Homo-oligomer: A and B are copies of this chain.
Amino acid sequence: MEAVRRFLSEKSERVNNSLRSYVGEWDNAPERLREAIDYSLFAGGKRLRPALALGACELVCGDDAAAMPVACALEMIHTYSLIHDDLPAMDNDSLRRGKPTSHVQFGEALAILAGDALLTMAFDIAARAGSPDVVAELARAAGVEGMVGGQVLDLAAERQQLTLQELQRLHSCKTGALIRAATRLGAMLGGANEHQLAALTAYGELIGLAFQIADDILDVIGNTETLGKTAGNDAAHHKATYPALVGIEEARRLGNEAVSHAITALEPFGHEADIFRELARYIMQRES
């Protein structure tokens, strides 16, 4: 896993620099809003989605610079979604990445607005990639048939018994769409051909599934300190999760199966894609 840690830390350092430089442009924004944005955006996230976008771009063209604006936009959208998900009206969480959640720290109004601001500015930054198609795909991944749609399904599923198929749809919208968009947009911006794009789409979809299964399992077996967010929260909210539906062992098997299919999907790339293979394994083995 050492190579994955190096990969993630190298990418996340550059992503953080770019994010700081984008946020630094907002001279005329109210000070308190900038504070609330900084608080959540630089709370020590793993930067998985940006790393996937940059890595996919690099895999097809040898350089990841073209994907940097979209990588940062993905992280801003991910961060906004965490702020809004944590709100009292939603999951009502008070701990995120080891710190008080945004509404606990800044009040509910400013937390809502910080989320709105991150979502909005993500598209200013994504537009710098120079492609309307990329903007549109990012919006759709985050939108009514993607992340927001998944969040609506998630809330509706509380205290409901879903089928495995319904749970898969929920997760493929809520978590999967943005992770899939990360590898796809990175590949598109790197000039991927049809086969490369198809391979990285399949890979993104499968690790997105594995990521959510691992997240569900960690909520059961992890502890609050390592996770940086409240463990056992899914059960407390009667959330639809893989462990709740099929048990921990079967959930683990489904997650490992997705990882192994994700690795297979990378075949066209040969050894160049080894870091993405490692990353897929890491996703099921991580502890936070």
Q: Interface residues, chain A, CB within 8 Å of chain B?
A: 26-30, 32-34, 37, 80, 84, 87, 89-90, 107-110, 112-113, 115-117, 119-124, 126-133, 135-136, 138-140, 142-145, 148-149, 151-153, 155-156
Distance in angstroms between the alpha carbons of A169 and B5 in the assembled complex: 46
Inter-subunit contact A144/B109 (CB<8 Å): no
Given contacts A30-B153, A136-B127, A143-B121, is CB(A148)–CB(B116) below 8 Å? Answer: yes
Distance in angstroms between the alpha carbons of A138 and B120 in the assembled complex: 9
Contacts A33-B144, A117-B143, A119-B119 given; 20 further ones with Cβ under 8 A? Answer: A26-B145, A27-B145, A29-B144, A30-B152, A30-B153, A30-B156, A33-B148, A90-B112, A113-B148, A116-B116, A117-B148, A120-B143, A120-B148, A121-B139, A121-B144, A123-B135, A123-B138, A124-B140, A127-B139, A128-B136
Inter-subunit contact A127/B121 (CB<8 Å): no
Report 23 cross-chain contacts, Cβ distance below 8 Å, ordered by A residue: A28-B145, A30-B149, A30-B153, A30-B156, A32-B156, A34-B144, A37-B144, A84-B116, A89-B107, A89-B109, A89-B112, A117-B144, A117-B149, A120-B139, A121-B139, A121-B144, A124-B139, A127-B135, A127-B136, A127-B139, A128-B136, A129-B132, A135-B135
Given contacts A119-B120, A123-B123, A139-B124, is CB(A110)–CB(B145) below 8 Å? Answer: no
Residues of B within 8 A of A89 (CB): 107-109, 112
Q: How far is the CB of A112 from chain B (nearest CB, A)?
A: 6
Residues of B within 8 A of A152 (CB): 30, 32-33, 110, 113
Please tell me how many copies of the chain the complex holds.
2
Residues of B within 8 A of A29 (CB): 144-145, 149
Inter-subunit contact A113/B151 (CB<8 Å): yes
Distance in angstroms between the alpha carbons of A113 and B132 in the assembled complex: 24
Distance in angstroms between the alpha carbons of A223 and B136 in the assembled complex: 42
Residues of B within 8 A of A129 (CB): 132
- A36 closest partner in B (C-beta): B152
Distance in angstroms between the alpha carbons of A32 and B151 in the assembled complex: 12
Inter-subunit contact A132/B127 (CB<8 Å): yes
Residues of B within 8 A of A33 (CB): 144, 148-149, 152
Distance in angstroms between the alpha carbons of A145 and B139 in the assembled complex: 21
Residues of B within 8 A of A155 (CB): 109-110, 113
Residues of B within 8 A of A84 (CB): 112-113, 116
- A148 closest partner in B (C-beta): B117
